[in-house]
């Protein structure tokens, strides 16, 4: 499955973007017009945390408020009709970008809410109902049965998860009596396929990252998903670190056993305040609503209510209309670049930075040392230097990186550290920025060795 969603070798199958093409892309990003703290152009290397926005995305969001702001789905006047059309067109566009249908995409305020939406729906479905162990034919005949878990059932995650794809499942297990288990990691931070035996007939949910936000390692879906399919587990895939860097196809992922995946707009050149749950129509039909109120209802009386079907069932209240419009522009921009070519470009940059860091005395790479099956995320620690100090020295040199535990404490514990420094690439990243980063890293060594 890895092969069908991302290049799996160190030699990209697509051609990397030329320097001229990257320069054209960079001209679209206003953040490059402002100087960094030292007066030089900013070398922004924190795309895994949040992406910068092209001018077109900013303009789309502003234009919506300027010309089309209305109450979507709530009236028939012109502005309301335009707002409704904008929202639904954005749904179709974002869904199509990842090979899904609009009827399979629920807008949320972020990817964290999308994960919680699934976990809380499972918890709601399990209230007062006995657990039905295992999947199989019975669950296929009654999709809602797949959502019922309790004592004796298990939820499987990985040690590489962002807290957003770990804590909600911990809470679900605490509420239902299910047991949380996890796929462990190899020495270099990849998922250890020798631990696949934690996926058993008791596994009701498998929630895993597509690409680690610490090591950049891509999960071996081709080995993991067949095991989950065999036991009928519900599979939730976190694509926050892959959707803006690798071609994804939800159609193929569904065949392989993925029931739902999560998207984050602000990591995909889009606005903050919006994300999405992409899920099969069967799963959405089986999930009880979690947030209730206006817009998601059919009939309301003083005694009870009935709820809409499909994505609107989970979109209570006023929605982020301008943000949805901006996200549509963002995915169209990414599609124009071509994610296969972007991935090839980022692999070249990743190789460049790895070669430089490997030669740095006292520096430890956190994760694989090669470019196979990884995205452009590289974490590291420096002997005797706190990551925050590393970040401050780099900031003084006009280089922006992430420091801390990156909302992933368990994987840091796996490496025997509390925190790390991390750089990550995006559509504007260049070899020159990597060189500035490596030069600043040398300054860190000189400064703290005095």
For residues 449 and 136, what is the distance between their CA atoms, to the nearest angstrom?
Answer: 61
CB 223 within 8 A of CB 244: no
**What is the number of alpha carbons within 13 Å of residue 329 lying toward its C-beta?**
21
For residues 250 and 252, what is the distance between their CA atoms, to the nearest angstrom?
Answer: 5
Which of 121, 87, 103 is closest to 291 using CA atoms? 121
3-state secondary structure the chain: CHHHHCCCCCCCCCCCCCHHHHHHHHCCCHHHHCECCCCCECEECECCCCCCCCHHHHHHHHHHHHHHCCCCCCCCCHHHHHHHHHHHHHHHHHHHHCCCCHHHEEEECCHHHHHHHHHHHHHHHHCCCCCCCCCHHHHHHCHHHHHCCCCCCEEEEECCCCHHHCHHHHHHHHHHCCEEEEECECCCCCECHHHHHHCCCCEEEEEEECECCCCCEECCHHHHHHHHHHHCCEEEEECCCCCCCCCCCHHHHHHHCCCEEEEEHHHCCCCCCCEEEEECHHHHHHCCCCCCCCCCEEEECCCCEEECCCHHHHCCCCCCHHHHHHHHHHHHHHHHHCHHHHHHHHHHHHHHHHHHHHCCCCEEEECCCCCCCECCEEEEEECCECHHHHHHHHHHCCEECEEECCCCHHHHHHCCCCCEEEEECCCCCCHHHHHHHHHHHHHHHHHHCC
Q: Which residue has the tokens 């009880």?
A: 288
Which of 315, 266, 263 is closest to 290 using CA atoms? 315
CB 161 within 8 A of CB 207: yes
Of 173, 240, 407, 428, catalytic: 407
Task: Note the Cα 87 to chain centre separation in Å.
Answer: 21
The yes-or-no answer on residue 173 being catalytic is no
Indicate which residues carry an active-site annotation. 407
């Amino acid at each position: 499955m890895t092969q069908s969603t991302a290049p799996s070798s160190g030699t990209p199958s697509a051609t990397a973007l030329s320097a001229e093409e990257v320069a054209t892309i960079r001209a679209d990003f206003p953040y490059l017009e402002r100087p960094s703290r030292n007066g030089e152009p900013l070398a922004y290397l924190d795309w895994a945390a949040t992406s910068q926005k092209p001018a077109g995305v900013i303009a789309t969001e502003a234009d919506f408020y300027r010309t089309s702001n209305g109450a979507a789905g709530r009236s028939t006047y012109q502005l309301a009709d335009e707002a409704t059309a904008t929202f639904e067109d954005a749904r179709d566009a974002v869904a199509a970008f990842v090979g899904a249908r609009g009827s399979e995409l629920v807008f949320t305020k972020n990817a964290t809410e999308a994960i919680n939406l699934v976990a809380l729906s499972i918890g709601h479905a399990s209230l007062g109902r006995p657990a039905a162990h295992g999947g199989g034919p019975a669950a296929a005949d009654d999709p809602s049965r797949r959502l019922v878990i309790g004592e004796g059932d298990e939820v499987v995650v990985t040690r590489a998860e962002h807290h957003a794809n770990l804590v909600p499942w911990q809470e679900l297990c605490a509420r239902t009596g299910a047991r949380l288990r996890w796929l462990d990691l190899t020495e270099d931070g990849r998922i250890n396929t020798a631990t696949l035996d934690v996926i058993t007939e008791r596994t009701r949910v498998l929630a895993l990252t597509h690409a680690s936000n610490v090591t950049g390692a891509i999960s071996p879906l081709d080995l993991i998903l067949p095991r989950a399919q065999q036991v009928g587990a519900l599979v939730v895939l976190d694509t926050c670190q892959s959707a803006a860097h690798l071609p994804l196809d939800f159609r193929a992922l569904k065949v392989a056993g993925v029931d739902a995946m999560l998207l984050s707009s602000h990591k995909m050149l889009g606005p903050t305040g919006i994300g999405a749950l992409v899920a099969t129509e069967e799963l959405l039909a089986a999930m009880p609503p979690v947030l209730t109120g206006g817009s998601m209802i059919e009939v309301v009386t003083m005694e009870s209510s009935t709820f809409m079907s499909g994505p609107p069932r989970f979109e209570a209240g006023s929605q982020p209309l301008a943000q949805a419009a901006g996200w549509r522009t963002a995915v169209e921009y990414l599609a124009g670049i071509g994610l296969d070519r972007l991935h090839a470009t980022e692999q070249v940059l990743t190789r460049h930075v790895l070669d430089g860091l490997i030669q740095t005395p006292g520096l430890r790479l956190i994760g694989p040392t090669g470019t196979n099956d990884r995205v452009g995320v590289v974490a590291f620690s420096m002997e005797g230097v706190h990551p925050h100090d590393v970040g401050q020295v780099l900031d003084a040199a006009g280089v922006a990186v992430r420091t801390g535990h990156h909302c992933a404490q368990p994987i840091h514990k796996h490496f025997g550290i509390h925190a790390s420094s991390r750089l990550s690439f995006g559509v504007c990243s260049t070899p020159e920025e990597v060189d500035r980063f490596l030069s600043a890293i040398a300054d860190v060594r000189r400064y703290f060795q005095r």
